[in-house]
Structure 1
Amino acid sequence: MLEDVAIILGLSTNGMPVIGSTFNNYEALEAECLDKFGVAPRKTEYRGNFIKLTWFRGLKDRLVLVDDIHIQRYVKCHIMLLFGTVMFGDKSGTEVHWKFLPLLHNFAGIIQFSWGSACLAHIYRVLCRITRVNCKEIDGPLTLLLTGAWICLPFLAPILGNPRLFPIANRWRNWEQIGHPYRFRSLFVWKAYAIGRIDLDVIPFEIRRIRLFGVS
């Protein structure tokens, strides 16, 4: 649900819809990258409508944060990396669709989009696709799916790291190194975010406000 996206990933579920046009030619991709980052990927750094995540990582590492323009480019690189991994990742895990670039045109307005709603819609689409008999892989915001399962099915979850971290997904950071001992004998938690399981002071006010009152 939208509440899960807000609590687990810390994404706003209110705001403008994440919509826009998608062009499938290199000239449009190049123009968007030049506008957002001052440089464009070479032919070896993109495939069709997808830009390799290594291009964004390399650009992010090379940027020197000497002024607001470079800081904004750094943040936009980070956002595109989040899109390509946590929020809208594809099965390759190495690329991100460049259709998101136009949404970053107004840097101050990035926060005004309902990224949480888009992320939830994406996972619903993924879950529909995996019901097909010929589907063998899954992509999308798997952090949301996995963390949601660990919260509601605690007998599956590794031991928590820091229980007061927010967003909740951060609580299982480096979970492979923590081990897999079962925490509870409960099969299912009906009220995953009830008082006693999550301290209210851990949840930022803007997220708690959305959760409790449903307002922007």
Structure 2
Amino acid sequence: MSFLELAGFRSATFIRTFDLRYDLISALVERWRLETHTFHLLCGECTVALEDVALQLGLPIYGSAVTGVSAITEPAILCYSLLRASSGDDESKFSGLKFKWLKANFEHLSVNAIEEELMCATQAYIMHIIGGVLMPDMNNNRVYLQYLPLLVDLHNVRSYSWGSAILAILYRELFWTTKPHAVDIGGCIVLLQSWALYRMPFLASVSHQPYVYPLVNR
């Protein structure tokens, strides 16, 4: 936890998960306007803002832009140099770390783990949070390797505006999901649903489900 605190990701470990209401998600997508990045509702226009990301997720919204490396020439070497474990994937197809692999290699730590092992486990855990909760794609079975170089120095991780990246990807996914051929949506959907239930509490009462704000239970 001390290393996660150092990286600025401690709050992300407390993010609640819950059953998604796909009827609500679909209704929001139908009302998304590409020109303004807002939802057009009967009561007016609204959207998920950086303030909502900060309140809901507890992640920084100021700092350097999260810009992953577009092309990694030796992904297996990068993976082993930072995580001290090899994925075993074909080098030509190695673009992400599977959640199964992360769990198998980092789920359990020895009580006598040295600092290097703790740092590797922290980096692996942050990668899992990024790919599984904060910025998942539609397959939701792996995290892109492009984020790993940003975790080289845990002291520097919190200097990035992770909240801005999460919101940008959610906007992008809403854009693609409005296309006629779209069948699913990626991005931080738990944020989208939690935002909708908090900003429009009558939706929570309709579902007869208790709602607790924010997503992070600190």
Using the size of structure 1 for normalisation, the TM-score is 0.70
Question: Cα deviations across residues 56-106 of structure 1 (Å, max 9, x unaligned)?
Answer: 111112433522111111111110011111111011111111010111111
Question: Cα deviations across residues 6-45 of structure 1 (Å, max 9, x unaligned)?
Answer: 00111110111111422265xx21111111111110128x
Instruction: Please give the alpha-carbon distance, in whole angstroms, between the structure 1 residues aligned to 2:94 and 2:187.
Output: 19
Given residue 63 of structure 1, which amino acid in structure 2 is its aligned partner? L
Alignment of 1:128-139 (within 5 A): 128-139=175-186
Instruction: Please give the alpha-carbon distance, in whole angstroms, between the structure 2 residues aligned to 1:108 and 1:5.
Output: 22
Given residue 104 of structure 2, which amino acid in structure 1 is its aligned partner? G
Given residue 154 of structure 2, which amino acid in structure 1 is its aligned partner? F
Given residue 107 of structure 1, which amino acid in structure 2 is its aligned partner? L
Alignment of 1:8-87 (within 5 A): 8-23=56-71, 28-43=74-89, 48-64=94-110, 66-87=113-134
Residue of structure 2 in register with 1:159 after alignment: 210
Alpha carbons 1:59, 1:77 under 8 Å: kept = no
Given residue 124 of structure 1, which amino acid in structure 2 is its aligned partner? Y
The root-mean-square deviation of aligned C-alpha atoms, in Å, is 2.2
Q: How many residues align?
A: 165
Following superposition, the deviation at residue 131 of structure 1 comes to 1.2
Instruction: Please give the alpha-carbon distance, in whole angstroms, between the structure 2 residues aligned to 1:131 and 1:170.
Output: 29
Identify which of 30, 37, 52 aligns with 1:4: 52
Residue of structure 1 in register with 2:149 after alignment: 102
Unaligned segments of structure 1, at least 5 residues: 172-201, 203-216
Using the size of structure 2 for normalisation, the TM-score is 0.69
Q: Secondary structure at the match of 1:169?
A: coil
Question: Cα deviations across residues 167-212 of structure 1 (Å, max 9, x unaligned)?
Answer: x1146xxxxxxxxxxxxxxxxxxxxxxxxxxxxxx8xxxxxxxxxx
Given residue 76 of structure 1, which amino acid in structure 2 is its aligned partner? Q
Larger RCO, structure (CA 8 Å, separation 6 or more): 2
Residue of structure 2 in register with 1:191 after alignment: none
Instruction: Please give the alpha-carbon distance, in whole angstroms, between the structure 2 residues aligned to 1:74 and 1:21.
Output: 22
Instruction: Please give the alpha-carbon distance, in whole angstroms, between the structure 2 residues aligned to 1:99 and 1:36.
Output: 13
Instruction: Please give the alpha-carbon distance, in whole angstroms, between the structure 2 residues aligned to 1:101 and 1:147.
Output: 28
Q: Secondary structure at the match of 2:97?
A: strand
Moved more, 106-115 or 59-68: 59-68
Unaligned segments of structure 2, at least 5 residues: 1-48
Alpha carbons 2:151, 2:157 under 8 Å: kept = yes
Given residue 106 of structure 1, which amino acid in structure 2 is its aligned partner? D
Tell me whether 1:145 sits opposite 2:192 in the alignment: yes
Alpha carbons 1:15, 1:112 under 8 Å: kept = yes
Following superposition, the deviation at residue 48 of structure 1 comes to 4.2
Given residue 129 of structure 1, which amino acid in structure 2 is its aligned partner? W
